[in-house]
A and B are shown apart, each in its own frame.
Chain A
Amino acid sequence: MAENRPTILLIEDEAEIRRFVRVALTAENYRVVESSDGRRGAIDAGTHKPDLAIVDLGLPDIDGIDVIRRLREWSPMPIIVLSARVQERAKIEALDSGADDYVTKPFGIGELLARVRAALRHVVRTRSGTTVLKLGAAIVDLEVRHASRDGVDIRMTPLEFRLLAVLAKHAGMVVTHRQLLTQVWGPTHATDTHYLRIYMKQLRDKFEADPIRPRHFVTETGVGYRLLVDE
Protein backbone atom coordinates (compact mmCIF):
# COMPACT_ATOMS: atom_id res chain seq x y z
CA MET A 1 0.00 0.00 0.00
CA ALA A 2 1.35 3.38 -0.95
CA GLU A 3 1.96 5.57 2.07
CA ASN A 4 0.46 9.00 1.90
CA ARG A 5 2.07 10.20 5.10
CA PRO A 6 4.49 13.05 4.36
CA THR A 7 8.16 11.96 4.56
CA ILE A 8 10.62 14.14 6.44
CA LEU A 9 14.37 13.79 6.05
CA LEU A 10 16.27 14.68 9.23
CA ILE A 11 19.99 15.41 8.72
CA GLU A 12 21.50 15.85 12.19
CA ASP A 13 24.64 14.38 13.73
CA GLU A 14 23.54 14.48 17.38
CA ALA A 15 21.78 11.19 18.10
CA GLU A 16 19.94 12.62 21.11
CA ILE A 17 18.45 15.44 19.09
CA ARG A 18 17.51 13.02 16.28
CA ARG A 19 15.77 10.87 18.85
CA PHE A 20 13.37 13.45 20.27
CA VAL A 21 12.69 15.02 16.89
CA ARG A 22 11.91 11.56 15.45
CA VAL A 23 9.60 10.70 18.35
CA ALA A 24 7.69 13.96 17.99
CA LEU A 25 7.44 13.83 14.18
CA THR A 26 6.32 10.19 14.21
CA ALA A 27 3.69 11.04 16.82
CA GLU A 28 2.42 13.71 14.42
CA ASN A 29 2.07 11.00 11.79
CA TYR A 30 5.06 11.92 9.63
CA ARG A 31 7.42 9.29 8.22
CA VAL A 32 10.98 10.10 9.33
CA VAL A 33 14.23 9.26 7.52
CA GLU A 34 17.34 9.97 9.58
CA SER A 35 20.86 10.76 8.33
CA SER A 36 23.74 11.38 10.70
CA ASP A 37 25.93 13.32 8.26
CA GLY A 38 25.70 15.57 5.22
CA ARG A 39 26.89 13.19 2.48
CA ARG A 40 24.59 10.43 3.71
CA GLY A 41 21.77 12.98 3.87
CA ALA A 42 22.24 14.08 0.26
CA ILE A 43 22.09 10.42 -0.86
CA ASP A 44 19.05 9.66 1.35
CA ALA A 45 17.27 12.65 -0.18
CA GLY A 46 17.76 11.08 -3.64
CA THR A 47 16.48 7.64 -2.62
CA HIS A 48 13.58 8.62 -0.34
CA LYS A 49 12.35 11.74 -2.18
CA PRO A 50 11.18 13.38 1.08
CA ASP A 51 8.49 16.08 1.23
CA LEU A 52 10.61 18.20 3.54
CA ALA A 53 14.15 18.25 4.91
CA ILE A 54 15.40 19.38 8.32
CA VAL A 55 19.14 20.16 8.12
CA ASP A 56 21.45 20.88 11.04
CA LEU A 57 23.98 23.62 10.23
CA GLY A 58 26.78 22.11 12.32
CA LEU A 59 27.36 18.81 10.55
CA PRO A 60 30.67 16.99 11.04
CA ASP A 61 31.54 16.14 7.41
CA ILE A 62 30.27 18.79 5.02
CA ASP A 63 28.82 22.21 5.66
CA GLY A 64 25.05 22.26 6.17
CA ILE A 65 24.96 25.05 3.56
CA ASP A 66 26.57 22.69 1.01
CA VAL A 67 23.90 20.11 1.76
CA ILE A 68 21.22 22.74 1.10
CA ARG A 69 22.85 23.70 -2.23
CA ARG A 70 23.03 20.03 -3.28
CA LEU A 71 19.37 19.49 -2.44
CA ARG A 72 18.34 22.67 -4.19
CA GLU A 73 20.01 21.51 -7.44
CA TRP A 74 17.13 19.15 -8.05
CA SER A 75 14.44 19.61 -5.41
CA PRO A 76 12.03 22.42 -4.53
CA MET A 77 11.03 20.71 -1.25
CA PRO A 78 10.93 22.95 1.85
CA ILE A 79 14.15 22.95 3.86
CA ILE A 80 14.24 23.96 7.53
CA VAL A 81 17.63 24.54 9.14
CA LEU A 82 18.53 23.95 12.77
CA SER A 83 21.06 26.53 13.92
CA ALA A 84 22.81 27.37 17.16
CA ARG A 85 22.63 30.90 18.55
CA VAL A 86 26.20 31.63 17.54
CA GLN A 87 25.57 30.70 13.89
CA GLU A 88 23.70 33.91 13.04
CA ARG A 89 25.64 34.54 9.82
CA ALA A 90 25.53 30.89 8.72
CA LYS A 91 21.77 30.94 9.24
CA ILE A 92 21.32 33.88 6.87
CA GLU A 93 23.66 32.27 4.35
CA ALA A 94 21.63 29.05 4.56
CA LEU A 95 18.42 30.98 3.90
CA ASP A 96 20.03 32.84 1.01
CA SER A 97 21.23 29.47 -0.35
CA GLY A 98 17.72 28.12 -0.54
CA ALA A 99 16.60 27.09 2.94
CA ASP A 100 13.04 28.24 3.68
CA ASP A 101 13.02 28.58 7.42
CA TYR A 102 15.04 28.09 10.59
CA VAL A 103 14.71 27.02 14.19
CA THR A 104 17.32 28.10 16.73
CA LYS A 105 18.67 25.54 19.20
CA PRO A 106 17.65 24.93 21.90
CA PHE A 107 14.07 24.74 20.62
CA GLY A 108 10.82 23.38 21.96
CA ILE A 109 9.29 20.74 19.76
CA GLY A 110 6.16 22.88 19.36
CA GLU A 111 8.20 25.47 17.54
CA LEU A 112 9.70 22.92 15.13
CA LEU A 113 6.33 21.28 14.47
CA ALA A 114 4.78 24.67 13.73
CA ARG A 115 7.52 25.39 11.17
CA VAL A 116 7.11 21.97 9.57
CA ARG A 117 3.34 22.41 9.30
CA ALA A 118 3.66 25.90 7.84
CA ALA A 119 6.17 24.67 5.25
CA LEU A 120 4.05 21.71 4.16
CA ARG A 121 0.93 23.89 4.05
CA HIS A 122 2.84 26.26 1.82
CA VAL A 123 3.53 23.41 -0.62
CA VAL A 124 -0.17 22.56 -0.71
CA ARG A 125 -1.12 26.18 -1.27
CA THR A 126 1.42 26.54 -4.09
CA ARG A 127 0.18 23.35 -5.79
CA SER A 128 -3.43 24.45 -5.59
CA GLY A 129 -2.44 27.61 -7.44
CA THR A 130 -4.42 29.89 -5.15
CA THR A 131 -3.63 33.57 -5.59
CA VAL A 132 -5.95 34.99 -2.95
CA LEU A 133 -4.56 35.83 0.51
CA LYS A 134 -6.43 36.69 3.63
CA LEU A 135 -4.68 39.16 5.94
CA GLY A 136 -7.05 39.75 8.82
CA ALA A 137 -9.97 41.73 7.44
CA ALA A 138 -8.12 42.41 4.19
CA ILE A 139 -8.20 40.27 1.04
CA VAL A 140 -5.42 40.38 -1.57
CA ASP A 141 -5.76 38.87 -5.02
CA LEU A 142 -2.26 38.59 -6.43
CA GLU A 143 -3.41 37.62 -9.91
CA VAL A 144 -5.60 40.65 -10.54
CA ARG A 145 -3.36 42.85 -8.37
CA HIS A 146 -6.15 43.98 -6.10
CA ALA A 147 -6.49 44.42 -2.35
CA SER A 148 -9.50 45.47 -0.30
CA ARG A 149 -10.84 45.60 3.22
CA ASP A 150 -14.60 45.43 3.83
CA GLY A 151 -15.17 46.18 0.16
CA VAL A 152 -12.95 49.28 0.25
CA ASP A 153 -9.94 49.25 -2.07
CA ILE A 154 -6.47 49.37 -0.52
CA ARG A 155 -4.31 51.33 -2.91
CA MET A 156 -0.70 50.21 -3.31
CA THR A 157 2.30 51.48 -5.24
CA PRO A 158 3.83 49.04 -7.79
CA LEU A 159 6.79 48.40 -5.45
CA GLU A 160 4.55 47.82 -2.43
CA PHE A 161 2.63 45.30 -4.47
CA ARG A 162 5.76 43.56 -5.69
CA LEU A 163 7.09 43.34 -2.11
CA LEU A 164 3.81 41.84 -0.94
CA ALA A 165 3.87 39.37 -3.85
CA VAL A 166 7.40 38.14 -3.03
CA LEU A 167 6.47 37.69 0.64
CA ALA A 168 3.26 35.92 -0.37
CA LYS A 169 5.17 33.53 -2.62
CA HIS A 170 6.91 32.29 0.57
CA ALA A 171 3.92 32.80 2.87
CA GLY A 172 4.52 31.44 6.36
CA MET A 173 8.27 31.23 5.78
CA VAL A 174 11.23 33.56 6.15
CA VAL A 175 12.43 35.72 3.27
CA THR A 176 15.82 37.37 3.85
CA HIS A 177 16.54 41.07 3.34
CA ARG A 178 18.78 40.20 0.41
CA GLN A 179 16.14 38.04 -1.27
CA LEU A 180 13.48 40.74 -0.91
CA LEU A 181 15.76 43.52 -2.10
CA THR A 182 17.04 41.63 -5.17
CA GLN A 183 13.59 40.36 -6.15
CA VAL A 184 11.78 43.67 -5.64
CA TRP A 185 14.36 46.36 -6.40
CA GLY A 186 16.93 44.35 -8.37
CA PRO A 187 20.43 42.98 -7.67
CA THR A 188 22.02 46.46 -7.56
CA HIS A 189 19.95 47.21 -4.45
CA ALA A 190 20.78 43.98 -2.60
CA THR A 191 22.08 45.85 0.46
CA ASP A 192 19.75 48.90 0.50
CA THR A 193 17.98 47.73 3.64
CA HIS A 194 16.53 51.19 4.28
CA TYR A 195 14.22 50.68 1.22
CA LEU A 196 12.77 47.62 2.91
CA ARG A 197 12.24 49.38 6.24
CA ILE A 198 10.30 52.21 4.61
CA TYR A 199 8.17 49.99 2.36
CA MET A 200 7.46 47.47 5.08
CA LYS A 201 6.15 50.30 7.24
CA GLN A 202 3.91 51.44 4.37
CA LEU A 203 2.52 47.91 3.95
CA ARG A 204 1.92 47.59 7.67
CA ASP A 205 0.19 50.95 7.81
CA LYS A 206 -2.15 49.71 5.06
CA PHE A 207 -2.79 46.16 6.29
CA GLU A 208 -2.15 45.91 10.03
CA ALA A 209 -4.63 46.90 12.71
CA ASP A 210 -1.67 47.80 14.98
CA PRO A 211 1.41 48.45 12.80
CA ILE A 212 3.76 48.37 15.84
CA ARG A 213 2.58 44.85 16.74
CA PRO A 214 2.09 43.33 13.30
CA ARG A 215 0.18 40.07 12.99
CA HIS A 216 0.95 39.47 9.31
CA PHE A 217 4.12 41.32 8.31
CA VAL A 218 6.37 39.85 10.98
CA THR A 219 9.97 41.02 11.50
CA GLU A 220 12.67 38.38 11.83
CA THR A 221 15.25 40.64 13.44
CA GLY A 222 18.59 40.68 11.63
CA VAL A 223 17.33 38.11 9.09
CA GLY A 224 14.31 39.27 7.13
CA TYR A 225 10.52 39.09 7.18
CA ARG A 226 7.77 36.53 7.31
CA LEU A 227 4.24 36.96 5.96
CA LEU A 228 1.64 35.17 8.04
CA VAL A 229 -1.62 34.66 6.16
CA ASP A 230 -4.94 33.52 7.58
CA GLU A 231 -6.15 30.18 6.29
Chain B
Amino acid sequence: MFDTRRFLTGNLRHACVPLRMARRWRWHGYAWAVAAAASCTLIGVAMQPRFDVVNIAMVYLLAVVVIALRFARGPAVTASVLCVAAFDFMFVPPRGRLSVDDVQYLLTFAIMLAIALIISRLVESDRRQASEQAALEVAAETERIRSALLASVSHDLRTPLAVMAGASSSLAETGERLTSVERSALATSIFDQAREMSEHVAKILQMTRLEIGAISADRDWTALSEIVGSVLRRLAERMARHRIIVDVPEDLPLVRVDATLIEQALGNLLENCARHTPAETVVRVRAQRQQSEIVVTVEDYAGGLSDAELERVFAKFSRGTVEGGGTDIGLGLAICRAIVRLHGGRAWAERVSGGGSAFKFTLPLELPPDIPPEPVD
Protein backbone atom coordinates (compact mmCIF):
# COMPACT_ATOMS: atom_id res chain seq x y z
CA MET B 1 0.00 0.00 0.00
CA PHE B 2 1.05 3.57 -0.51
CA ASP B 3 1.99 5.60 2.50
CA THR B 4 0.37 8.92 1.74
CA ARG B 5 2.21 10.65 4.56
CA ARG B 6 5.58 9.65 3.25
CA PHE B 7 4.57 10.72 -0.24
CA LEU B 8 3.58 14.08 1.10
CA THR B 9 6.67 14.65 3.18
CA GLY B 10 8.71 13.50 0.20
CA ASN B 11 7.03 16.18 -1.80
CA LEU B 12 7.44 18.77 0.88
CA ARG B 13 10.90 19.59 -0.29
CA HIS B 14 9.57 20.07 -3.79
CA ALA B 15 6.87 22.35 -2.51
CA CYS B 16 9.58 24.65 -1.19
CA VAL B 17 12.01 24.56 -4.13
CA PRO B 18 12.38 27.60 -6.37
CA LEU B 19 9.96 28.04 -9.23
CA ARG B 20 12.29 26.80 -11.95
CA MET B 21 12.75 23.45 -10.27
CA ALA B 22 9.06 23.21 -9.49
CA ARG B 23 8.34 23.68 -13.15
CA ARG B 24 10.75 20.97 -14.14
CA TRP B 25 9.12 18.74 -11.55
CA ARG B 26 5.75 19.40 -13.18
CA TRP B 27 7.01 18.26 -16.61
CA HIS B 28 8.39 15.28 -14.85
CA GLY B 29 4.81 14.51 -13.73
CA TYR B 30 3.47 14.60 -17.28
CA ALA B 31 6.22 12.28 -18.42
CA TRP B 32 5.28 9.86 -15.66
CA ALA B 33 1.59 10.12 -16.68
CA VAL B 34 2.46 9.10 -20.25
CA ALA B 35 4.78 6.36 -19.02
CA ALA B 36 2.10 5.03 -16.66
CA ALA B 37 -0.54 4.87 -19.41
CA ALA B 38 1.94 3.12 -21.72
CA SER B 39 3.01 0.54 -19.13
CA CYS B 40 -0.61 -0.19 -18.18
CA THR B 41 -1.33 -0.81 -21.82
CA LEU B 42 1.59 -3.28 -22.00
CA ILE B 43 0.40 -5.00 -18.81
CA GLY B 44 -3.13 -5.01 -20.22
CA VAL B 45 -1.97 -6.68 -23.41
CA ALA B 46 -0.20 -9.33 -21.35
CA MET B 47 -3.28 -9.84 -19.16
CA GLN B 48 -5.78 -9.85 -21.97
CA PRO B 49 -5.76 -13.60 -22.85
CA ARG B 50 -6.57 -14.64 -19.28
CA PHE B 51 -8.31 -11.70 -17.59
CA ASP B 52 -11.58 -9.92 -17.94
CA VAL B 53 -11.57 -6.41 -19.44
CA VAL B 54 -12.83 -5.04 -16.10
CA ASN B 55 -9.63 -6.21 -14.39
CA ILE B 56 -7.55 -4.45 -17.00
CA ALA B 57 -9.53 -1.30 -16.21
CA MET B 58 -8.46 -1.79 -12.57
CA VAL B 59 -4.79 -1.73 -13.60
CA TYR B 60 -5.41 1.62 -15.34
CA LEU B 61 -7.25 2.86 -12.29
CA LEU B 62 -4.30 1.95 -10.06
CA ALA B 63 -1.97 3.94 -12.34
CA VAL B 64 -4.27 6.97 -12.21
CA VAL B 65 -4.37 6.77 -8.41
CA VAL B 66 -0.59 6.57 -8.13
CA ILE B 67 -0.03 9.50 -10.51
CA ALA B 68 -2.65 11.58 -8.70
CA LEU B 69 -0.99 10.87 -5.37
CA ARG B 70 2.52 11.59 -6.54
CA PHE B 71 2.01 14.59 -8.82
CA ALA B 72 -0.19 17.64 -9.31
CA ARG B 73 -3.66 17.74 -10.85
CA GLY B 74 -2.40 18.30 -14.42
CA PRO B 75 -0.50 15.03 -14.66
CA ALA B 76 -3.37 13.23 -12.87
CA VAL B 77 -5.95 14.41 -15.41
CA THR B 78 -3.56 13.67 -18.24
CA ALA B 79 -3.02 10.19 -16.87
CA SER B 80 -6.74 9.54 -16.57
CA VAL B 81 -7.48 10.84 -20.09
CA LEU B 82 -4.58 8.85 -21.58
CA CYS B 83 -5.62 5.74 -19.67
CA VAL B 84 -9.23 6.08 -20.75
CA ALA B 85 -8.17 6.59 -24.36
CA ALA B 86 -5.68 3.71 -24.30
CA PHE B 87 -8.16 1.43 -22.54
CA ASP B 88 -10.87 2.33 -25.01
CA PHE B 89 -8.59 1.99 -28.04
CA MET B 90 -6.92 -1.26 -27.05
CA PHE B 91 -9.41 -3.22 -25.00
CA VAL B 92 -12.98 -1.91 -25.36
CA PRO B 93 -14.86 -3.32 -28.31
CA PRO B 94 -14.67 -2.23 -31.06
CA ARG B 95 -10.92 -2.43 -30.59
CA GLY B 96 -8.59 -0.15 -32.55
CA ARG B 97 -11.12 2.65 -32.51
CA LEU B 98 -12.02 5.42 -30.07
CA SER B 99 -15.68 4.57 -30.04
CA VAL B 100 -17.70 2.63 -27.50
CA ASP B 101 -20.27 -0.09 -28.14
CA ASP B 102 -21.43 -0.56 -24.59
CA VAL B 103 -22.59 2.59 -22.75
CA GLN B 104 -21.47 0.96 -19.48
CA TYR B 105 -17.85 1.77 -20.39
CA LEU B 106 -18.66 5.48 -20.42
CA LEU B 107 -19.35 5.08 -16.71
CA THR B 108 -15.92 3.44 -16.26
CA PHE B 109 -14.34 6.46 -17.99
CA ALA B 110 -16.23 8.95 -15.87
CA ILE B 111 -15.28 7.14 -12.66
CA MET B 112 -11.62 7.04 -13.63
CA LEU B 113 -11.60 10.77 -14.32
CA ALA B 114 -13.51 11.51 -11.11
CA ILE B 115 -11.08 9.44 -9.01
CA ALA B 116 -8.12 11.26 -10.58
CA LEU B 117 -9.68 14.65 -9.76
CA ILE B 118 -10.75 13.75 -6.22
CA ILE B 119 -7.40 12.24 -5.26
CA SER B 120 -5.33 15.03 -6.75
CA ARG B 121 -7.49 17.55 -4.98
CA LEU B 122 -7.10 15.78 -1.64
CA VAL B 123 -3.37 15.48 -2.13
CA GLU B 124 -3.07 19.11 -3.13
CA SER B 125 -4.83 20.44 -0.09
CA ASP B 126 -2.81 18.13 2.14
CA ARG B 127 0.38 19.25 0.41
CA ARG B 128 -0.54 22.90 0.82
CA GLN B 129 -1.11 22.31 4.51
CA ALA B 130 2.24 20.57 4.80
CA SER B 131 4.06 23.40 3.06
CA GLU B 132 2.29 25.97 5.20
CA GLN B 133 3.34 23.94 8.20
CA ALA B 134 6.92 23.88 6.94
CA ALA B 135 6.89 27.62 6.32
CA LEU B 136 5.67 28.11 9.88
CA GLU B 137 8.44 25.87 11.19
CA VAL B 138 11.06 27.80 9.19
CA ALA B 139 9.68 31.06 10.53
CA ALA B 140 9.76 29.70 14.08
CA GLU B 141 13.36 28.52 13.61
CA THR B 142 14.39 31.91 12.18
CA GLU B 143 12.71 33.56 15.12
CA ARG B 144 14.50 31.25 17.55
CA ILE B 145 17.88 32.04 15.96
CA ARG B 146 17.09 35.74 15.94
CA SER B 147 16.18 35.79 19.60
CA ALA B 148 19.23 33.68 20.45
CA LEU B 149 21.31 36.22 18.54
CA LEU B 150 19.66 39.10 20.34
CA ALA B 151 20.04 37.45 23.73
CA SER B 152 23.67 36.67 23.03
CA VAL B 153 24.43 40.08 21.56
CA SER B 154 22.74 41.87 24.37
CA HIS B 155 24.56 39.84 27.01
CA ASP B 156 27.98 39.69 25.38
CA LEU B 157 27.97 43.32 24.34
CA ARG B 158 26.17 44.84 27.30
CA THR B 159 28.45 43.37 29.94
CA PRO B 160 31.65 44.85 28.49
CA LEU B 161 29.82 48.10 27.72
CA ALA B 162 28.67 48.33 31.34
CA VAL B 163 32.23 47.76 32.55
CA MET B 164 33.63 50.31 30.11
CA ALA B 165 31.04 52.95 31.00
CA GLY B 166 31.53 52.40 34.73
CA ALA B 167 35.32 52.22 34.71
CA SER B 168 35.81 55.15 32.34
CA SER B 169 33.37 57.39 34.24
CA SER B 170 35.22 56.57 37.47
CA LEU B 171 38.45 57.63 35.78
CA ALA B 172 36.93 60.80 34.39
CA GLU B 173 35.11 61.89 37.54
CA THR B 174 37.19 60.63 40.46
CA GLY B 175 40.50 59.94 38.71
CA GLU B 176 42.43 62.45 40.79
CA ARG B 177 41.43 60.82 44.05
CA LEU B 178 42.44 57.34 42.90
CA THR B 179 45.86 55.83 43.36
CA SER B 180 47.87 55.23 40.21
CA VAL B 181 47.45 51.46 40.72
CA GLU B 182 43.66 51.85 40.82
CA ARG B 183 43.68 54.12 37.78
CA SER B 184 45.72 51.71 35.78
CA ALA B 185 43.54 48.76 36.87
CA LEU B 186 40.44 50.61 35.65
CA ALA B 187 42.09 51.58 32.37
CA THR B 188 43.30 48.02 31.81
CA SER B 189 39.83 46.61 32.34
CA ILE B 190 38.40 49.11 29.84
CA PHE B 191 41.00 47.99 27.32
CA ASP B 192 40.37 44.28 27.93
CA GLN B 193 36.61 44.66 27.70
CA ALA B 194 36.86 46.75 24.56
CA ARG B 195 39.10 44.18 22.94
CA GLU B 196 36.75 41.36 23.89
CA MET B 197 33.77 43.26 22.56
CA SER B 198 35.55 44.05 19.34
CA GLU B 199 36.20 40.34 18.90
CA HIS B 200 32.55 39.49 19.53
CA VAL B 201 31.44 42.03 16.95
CA ALA B 202 34.04 40.79 14.47
CA LYS B 203 32.78 37.22 14.96
CA ILE B 204 29.13 38.17 14.48
CA LEU B 205 30.04 40.05 11.29
CA GLN B 206 32.24 37.23 10.07
CA MET B 207 29.50 34.62 10.68
CA THR B 208 26.95 36.76 8.87
CA ARG B 209 29.28 37.36 5.96
CA LEU B 210 30.07 33.64 5.71
CA GLU B 211 26.38 32.75 5.79
CA ILE B 212 25.32 35.15 3.07
CA GLY B 213 28.26 34.05 0.94
CA ALA B 214 29.99 37.45 1.07
CA ILE B 215 33.35 35.82 1.77
CA SER B 216 35.27 33.96 -0.87
CA ALA B 217 38.43 31.98 -0.25
CA ASP B 218 41.44 33.78 -1.70
CA ARG B 219 43.56 30.67 -2.15
CA ASP B 220 47.31 30.48 -2.41
CA TRP B 221 50.02 27.97 -1.53
CA THR B 222 50.53 27.94 2.20
CA ALA B 223 52.52 25.92 4.72
CA LEU B 224 50.36 24.68 7.57
CA SER B 225 53.39 24.89 9.88
CA GLU B 226 53.45 28.65 9.24
CA ILE B 227 49.74 28.97 9.99
CA VAL B 228 50.22 27.05 13.24
CA GLY B 229 53.17 29.29 14.09
CA SER B 230 51.31 32.52 13.52
CA VAL B 231 48.20 31.33 15.40
CA LEU B 232 50.34 30.42 18.40
CA ARG B 233 52.02 33.83 18.22
CA ARG B 234 48.67 35.62 18.02
CA LEU B 235 47.16 33.62 20.87
CA ALA B 236 50.32 33.45 23.00
CA GLU B 237 48.79 35.55 25.75
CA ARG B 238 45.49 33.69 25.83
CA MET B 239 47.08 30.24 25.69
CA ALA B 240 49.82 31.10 28.18
CA ARG B 241 48.21 28.99 30.90
CA HIS B 242 48.04 25.85 28.75
CA ARG B 243 50.78 23.52 27.64
CA ILE B 244 50.77 23.38 23.87
CA ILE B 245 52.31 20.54 21.93
CA VAL B 246 52.76 20.98 18.18
CA ASP B 247 53.01 18.00 15.93
CA VAL B 248 53.38 18.97 12.26
CA PRO B 249 55.54 16.64 10.16
CA GLU B 250 58.56 18.15 8.37
CA ASP B 251 57.45 16.85 5.00
CA LEU B 252 53.78 17.88 5.16
CA PRO B 253 52.84 19.07 1.66
CA LEU B 254 51.79 22.68 1.04
CA VAL B 255 48.04 23.37 0.91
CA ARG B 256 46.25 25.79 -1.38
CA VAL B 257 44.00 27.74 0.99
CA ASP B 258 43.07 31.21 2.12
CA ALA B 259 45.71 31.47 4.83
CA THR B 260 43.93 34.25 6.73
CA LEU B 261 40.69 32.25 6.96
CA ILE B 262 42.36 28.95 7.89
CA GLU B 263 44.41 30.79 10.51
CA GLN B 264 41.14 32.02 11.93
CA ALA B 265 39.55 28.54 11.83
CA LEU B 266 42.50 26.99 13.65
CA GLY B 267 42.67 29.91 16.07
CA ASN B 268 39.00 29.45 16.96
CA LEU B 269 39.61 25.77 17.74
CA LEU B 270 42.55 26.62 19.99
CA GLU B 271 40.69 29.42 21.76
CA ASN B 272 37.79 27.04 22.29
CA CYS B 273 40.05 24.47 23.97
CA ALA B 274 41.77 27.13 26.05
CA ARG B 275 38.43 28.46 27.19
CA HIS B 276 36.83 25.16 28.13
CA THR B 277 39.71 23.32 29.76
CA PRO B 278 41.49 24.10 33.05
CA ALA B 279 44.88 25.82 33.17
CA GLU B 280 48.03 23.67 32.99
CA THR B 281 46.33 21.04 30.84
CA VAL B 282 47.74 19.99 27.50
CA VAL B 283 46.41 21.12 24.11
CA ARG B 284 47.87 19.35 21.12
CA VAL B 285 47.87 20.70 17.57
CA ARG B 286 48.48 18.14 14.92
CA ALA B 287 48.45 18.02 11.12
CA GLN B 288 48.66 14.78 9.18
CA ARG B 289 48.36 13.68 5.61
CA GLN B 290 45.64 11.07 5.10
CA GLN B 291 45.17 9.89 1.53
CA SER B 292 44.09 12.87 -0.56
CA GLU B 293 43.56 15.30 2.31
CA ILE B 294 45.21 16.87 5.29
CA VAL B 295 43.64 16.42 8.71
CA VAL B 296 44.24 19.15 11.26
CA THR B 297 43.47 18.21 14.88
CA VAL B 298 43.26 20.28 18.03
CA GLU B 299 42.98 17.98 21.00
CA ASP B 300 42.48 18.58 24.70
CA TYR B 301 42.56 16.08 27.54
CA ALA B 302 40.08 17.49 30.00
CA GLY B 303 36.40 16.83 30.40
CA GLY B 304 35.00 15.78 27.06
CA LEU B 305 31.72 16.14 25.25
CA SER B 306 28.57 14.03 25.32
CA ASP B 307 27.28 12.47 22.11
CA ALA B 308 24.75 15.25 21.64
CA GLU B 309 27.34 17.95 22.31
CA LEU B 310 29.78 16.59 19.72
CA GLU B 311 27.55 17.97 16.98
CA ARG B 312 25.84 20.76 18.90
CA VAL B 313 29.08 22.61 19.63
CA PHE B 314 29.28 23.54 15.94
CA ALA B 315 25.90 25.25 16.03
CA LYS B 316 25.71 29.02 16.28
CA PHE B 317 25.51 30.49 19.75
CA SER B 318 26.16 27.19 21.48
CA ARG B 319 27.90 27.80 24.76
CA GLY B 320 29.62 25.34 26.99
CA THR B 321 30.91 25.86 30.48
CA VAL B 322 33.65 28.45 30.48
CA GLU B 323 36.67 27.87 32.73
CA GLY B 324 37.75 30.98 34.58
CA GLY B 325 36.72 34.41 33.37
CA GLY B 326 35.69 35.70 29.99
CA THR B 327 32.62 35.07 27.93
CA ASP B 328 32.12 32.98 24.85
CA ILE B 329 29.75 34.21 22.21
CA GLY B 330 29.43 30.67 20.87
CA LEU B 331 30.38 31.39 17.25
CA GLY B 332 33.98 30.17 17.11
CA LEU B 333 33.30 26.60 16.04
CA ALA B 334 30.44 27.59 13.70
CA ILE B 335 32.79 30.00 11.94
CA CYS B 336 35.50 27.34 11.82
CA ARG B 337 33.12 24.89 10.15
CA ALA B 338 31.87 27.48 7.66
CA ILE B 339 35.44 28.39 6.69
CA VAL B 340 36.47 24.76 6.31
CA ARG B 341 33.40 24.00 4.17
CA LEU B 342 34.25 26.99 2.00
CA HIS B 343 37.51 25.17 1.29
CA GLY B 344 35.77 21.88 0.51
CA GLY B 345 36.69 20.25 3.81
CA ARG B 346 34.81 18.86 6.82
CA ALA B 347 34.92 19.87 10.48
CA TRP B 348 33.80 17.71 13.36
CA ALA B 349 34.49 16.76 16.97
CA GLU B 350 35.37 13.40 18.51
CA ARG B 351 35.84 12.11 22.00
CA VAL B 352 39.38 11.26 23.05
CA SER B 353 39.63 7.97 24.91
CA GLY B 354 40.62 8.63 28.49
CA GLY B 355 38.84 11.98 28.58
CA GLY B 356 39.05 15.00 26.33
CA SER B 357 37.89 16.15 22.93
CA ALA B 358 39.44 16.27 19.50
CA PHE B 359 38.31 18.96 17.08
CA LYS B 360 39.26 18.09 13.54
CA PHE B 361 39.04 19.53 10.08
CA THR B 362 40.20 18.41 6.68
CA LEU B 363 41.66 20.33 3.77
CA PRO B 364 41.82 18.87 0.30
CA LEU B 365 45.31 18.14 -0.95
CA GLU B 366 46.49 19.41 -4.32
CA LEU B 367 49.86 18.77 -5.87
CA PRO B 368 51.99 21.91 -5.58
CA PRO B 369 54.09 22.91 -8.59
CA ASP B 370 57.72 21.79 -8.59
CA ILE B 371 60.53 24.03 -7.50
CA PRO B 372 63.91 23.72 -9.19
CA PRO B 373 66.48 22.44 -6.68
CA GLU B 374 69.37 24.73 -5.82
CA PRO B 375 72.80 23.79 -4.45
CA VAL B 376 74.25 25.55 -1.40
CA ASP B 377 77.07 27.98 -1.96
Contact = CB atoms under 8 A, between A and B. Distances in A.
A121 interface: no
A55 B260 CA distance: 23
Contacts of A127: none
B225 A195 contact: no
B198 interface: yes
Nearest to B226: A219
Interface string B350-377: 0000000000000000001101001111
B195 A221 contact: no
B53 interface: no
A156 B223 contact: no
B232 to A, nearest CB: 6
Contacts of B228: 212
Contact of B371 (A161, A195, A213, A220): A195
B225 A201 contact: yes
B374 A193 contact: no
A197 B254 contact: yes
A194 B260 CA distance: 16
B237 to A, nearest CB: 11
B288 interface: no
A188 interface: no
The 10 closest A-B pairs by CB, nearest first: A222-B260, A194-B221, A219-B230, A197-B223, A155-B376, A157-B374, A219-B226, A221-B263, A193-B220, A221-B230
A106 interface: yes
B294 to A, nearest CB: 14
B194 interface: yes
A167 B16 CA distance: 57
Contacts of B229: 212-214, 219
A211 B377 CA distance: 22
B376 A157 contact: yes
A213 B233 contact: yes
Given A212-B232, A219-B229, A219-B230, 17 more contacts: A145-B377, A157-B377, A158-B377, A193-B220, A193-B222, A194-B254, A198-B371, A211-B225, A212-B246, A212-B248, A213-B232, A218-B230, A219-B227, A221-B227, A221-B230, A222-B258, A222-B263
Interface string A138-182: 000000010000000001111101000000000000000100000
Given A161-B377, A214-B229, A222 B195 contact: no
B225 A212 contact: yes
A155 B377 contact: yes
A198 B226 CA distance: 11
Contacts of A117: none
Given A197-B221, A213-B229, A159 B371 contact: no
A21 to B, nearest CB: 15
B191 interface: yes
A88 B260 contact: yes
B226 A200 contact: yes
Interface in A202-220: 211-214, 218-220
A205 B376 CA distance: 14
B202 interface: yes
Interface in B66-101: none
B40 interface: no
A145 B377 CA distance: 10
Contact of B259 (A191, A213, A214, A222): A222
Contacts of B376: 155-157
B353 to A, nearest CB: 27
A222 B259 CA distance: 6
